Structure 1
Amino acid sequence: MSQRSRTRPDGSATALDKAYDTALLDLDGVVYAGGEAIEYAVDSLVAARDGGMRLAYVTNNALRTPDAVAAHLTELGVPAEPAEVITSAQAVARLIAEHVPAGARVLVIGGEGLRVALRERGLEPVESADDDPAAVAQGYGGPDLPWGRFAEAGYAIARGVPWFASNTDLTIPSARGIAPGNGAAVEVVRIATGAEPRVAGKPLPPMHRETVLRTGAKRPIVVGDRLDTDIEGAFNGDVDSLLVLTGVTDGAQLLAAEPKHRPTYVDADLRGLLTGQPEVEARDGAFGCGGWTASVRNDALVLDGDGGALDGLRALCASAWTHAGDGACALDSGKVLAKLGL
């Protein structure tokens, strides 16, 4: 089914790690949260890799370097090389390098991952708007990024220096819950300057281009927890996607998804990489998956039957997305999701 006309999740008789050659995995909310591995993630990734699937870790978090990310994954039990890590810092550094002279100075509002990526492109990171930067690069700098860094960005942008952002994720998962992400920091600078940055990260094309260039994937599948970055990025790249429910997206958000936010497959966690996916069938104006049948009656989602919660959710997706067509489903989903314990 085309990503642009999707009205139900797909099925797959073949396990996903055999149907696709490369998994393009988000990190925060998929592999780990707050630095700790998410349940089942390590064993699932090891099994997929041992079975011949290539793993690439694609993150909008620009704070850490690929070396640091690979070391952390290895500590968690997933052997990873720095070359298997693709960050939004790398994507924005390439984008900046295409717009400024070789060796140009770039004002950095962010962390070490951004500095390393800029140096990789032959650019010189600087710390002050008075250092004559040719561009401003803003990426996630962690919870301790000083407020004065936003002022430096504002001073430079007010002088006409072009502004680039690694990504605009408003939130980021942490061990204590959902925290403000780089997008929240970008909003601070946007409000202060009235300017708009050029953005590189998911879901925009520069990040997809960076991923393809670095992985050489022929039949990739994007694996993520966010509809507005991971799944939309897959949509923009016209590749298949797997949404896992270990991060920020819940059942209600999934059922309300507009076409660009509808994943190819839905599963609870990364164990979904190692299995096939059940078919969602049309059943006399309704949609069925496993023991469940979902329909829309009197402008409400209805779920009949019994079975696994994920099968019920897949059937509900088909009913909600078909009802919504090219828009977002506005039907109340609280009762049917409560029936599934979601």
Structure 2
Amino acid sequence: TDATVAAHLSSLGLRVAADDVVTSPQAAMRLMRDLVPAGSTLLVIGGEGLVVEVEKAGFVVTRSAEDAPAAVVQGFAPEVGWTQLAEAAYALATPVEEGGIPWVATNTDWTIPQARGIAPGNGTLVSAVHTAVGRLATIAGKPERPIFDEAVTRTGATNPLFIGDRLDTDIQGARAAEMASLLVLTGIDRPKQVLAAPPSQRPDFIVADLRELFGPYPSTTVKGERTRVGDAVVEIDGVDLR
């Protein structure tokens, strides 16, 4: 929940209230309001954080496809397993073109960093349902625009900087939303991935860790095929990078 995230950030020494936090479940509810009538019953595939946002938005929560939900909303939780994914598949069995109900996923992160290593993320769970029903979810979270638009609306930001550790969600989403982006190299993607990134996933700024936010960013100069960033120099020589 937003309160849980705020509490965690506060424990790290930041001044954060729940109202300062924008989550993908909140963005999903913003989408859902345009898809189904107010007060509709939603099949919730996810954890308590998603349930809280569904109820705050005025919808009714069900865990069973037999309750004829008006839509399915799917988010990540470690406890999500076959039983919940099967309920989603049952509810989404009818194709959209034949009157099937909407399906909104909070995000499609393929992986999430954990203390013991990299683990499967919500994208793998959404993909499992997609494989079963042959249709695609509407995505509320990164890299789609709804969560970025929600953040700008909530904060009133006029010149936002989006900070993230993934090129395919954080940076790609920020660029699509026309925001400046900063990649921090302490998460999923590292310099090797940055060098291979397509234009749609190239950040405006790169830092080794968040401590560098408090210092000046090194100046960048480009002369022909040579680029200097601080003390580092890179030169393109044909197909080689020196």
User: 2: distance between equivalents of 1:137 and 1:223?
Assistant: 26
Aligned pairs (5 A) from 1:247-262: 247-262=187-202
Q: Give the aligned residue type for 1:94.
A: R
1:135 paired residue number:
71
2:145 paired residue number:
205
Secondary structure at the aligned position of 1:158 is classed as coil
Give the superposition deviation at 1:136: 0.4
Identity %: 47
User: 1: distance between equivalents of 2:58 and 2:232?
Assistant: 56
- Asked if the contact 1:88/1:201 (under 8 Å) is kept, the reply is yes
Secondary structure at the aligned position of 1:136 is classed as strand
Once the two structures are superposed, residues 24-51 of structure 1 have per-residue CA deviations (whole angstroms, 9 ceiling, x without a partner) of xxxxxxxxxxxxxxxxxxxxxxxxxxxx
User: 1: distance between equivalents of 2:135 and 2:231?
Assistant: 52
Aligned pairs (5 A) from 1:85-100: 85-100=21-36
User: 1: distance between equivalents of 2:17 and 2:231?
Assistant: 43
User: 2: distance between equivalents of 1:268 and 1:285?
Assistant: 25
Give the superposition deviation at 1:79: 2.8
Q: Cα–Cα, structure 1 residues 124 and 292, in superposed 2: closer, same or farther, change >3 Å?
A: same
Give the superposition deviation at 1:284: 4.5
Give the superposition deviation at 1:298: 4.4
Q: Larger RCO: Structure 1 or Structure 2 (Cα < 8 Å, ≥ 6 residues apart)?
A: 1
1:189 paired residue number:
129
Secondary structure at the aligned position of 2:211 is classed as helix
Q: Please provide the CA RMSD for this pair.
A: 1.3
Aligned pairs (5 A) from 1:1-342: 65-142=1-78, 144-159=79-94, 160-302=100-242
- Asked if the contact 2:41/2:61 (under 8 Å) is kept, the reply is yes
1:17 paired residue number:
none
Structure 2 portions without partners, runs of 5+: 95-99
User: 1: distance between equivalents of 2:80 and 2:191?
Assistant: 33
2:97 paired residue number:
none
User: 2: distance between equivalents of 1:169 and 1:285?
Assistant: 35
- Asked if the contact 1:97/1:123 (under 8 Å) is kept, the reply is no
User: 1: distance between equivalents of 2:68 and 2:103?
Assistant: 14
Secondary structure at the aligned position of 2:92 is classed as helix
User: 2: distance between equivalents of 1:284 and 1:186?
Assistant: 45
Q: Cα–Cα, structure 1 residues 71 and 290, in superposed 2: closer, same or farther, change >3 Å?
A: closer
- Asked if the contact 2:35/2:102 (under 8 Å) is kept, the reply is no
Once the two structures are superposed, residues 146-205 of structure 1 have per-residue CA deviations (whole angstroms, 9 ceiling, x without a partner) of 311000000000042221101111011111111100000001000011011111101111
Structure 1 portions without partners, runs of 5+: 1-64, 303-342
- Asked if the contact 2:225/2:237 (under 8 Å) is kept, the reply is no
